[in-house]
Amino acid sequence: MEKSPMEVFQAFGEGMMSGTDSWKEVIAKDIVFTGPVDQVKGLEAFAKLNKGFMPMIRGNEMKQAVEAGNFVITQMEMDIAMPSGKSIKLDMTEWYEIKDGKIQSLKVYYDAEEFRKELK
């Protein structure tokens, strides 16, 4: 039985937080990631992007997650430790497109200005 988009999203989140590569099982090989700072295509590029970003996360709070058709849309707040030592909070919205039990695309929206300032 195929997993619902929400179940696929939850498996992805649990896998990411576990520190294992189990999240890769629910990612399409040709995933497209689009965000305000980076855009990548393909599982390897997406994995590399996450490998650099995940250690910066100090906490997150899911405000809401909604399933609509093939999409899961989230609103969350992330506490990010920047290389400068400063911590910033990102109010983030994510759009996951899920088909055939795999995340096909992920679009992330947040105000990247403070994030960019800290990376300079």
pLDDT digits (tens, 9 = 90+) for 88-116: 899 999 999 999 999 999 999 998 887 77
Range picked from 13-17, 65-69, 82-86 for highest mean pLDDT: 65-69
Q: Cα(56)–Cα(53) distance, rounded to whole angstroms?
A: 6
H or E stretch covering 81: strand 71-81
Is residue 120's pLDDT more than 70?
A: no
> What is the C-alpha separation between 97 and 20, in angstroms, rounded?
22
Q: By three-state DSSP, how is residue 28 classified?
A: strand
C-alpha triplet 79, 5, 110: angle, nearest 5°: 30
**pLDDT at residue 55 tops 70:** yes
pTM passes above 0.85:
yes
4: which DSSP letter?
P
Q: Which amino acid is at 59?
A: G
pLDDT > 90? residue 20: no
Residue 26 contacts by C-beta under 8 Å, 6 or more apart in sequence?
A: 8, 11, 12, 15, 101, 102, 103
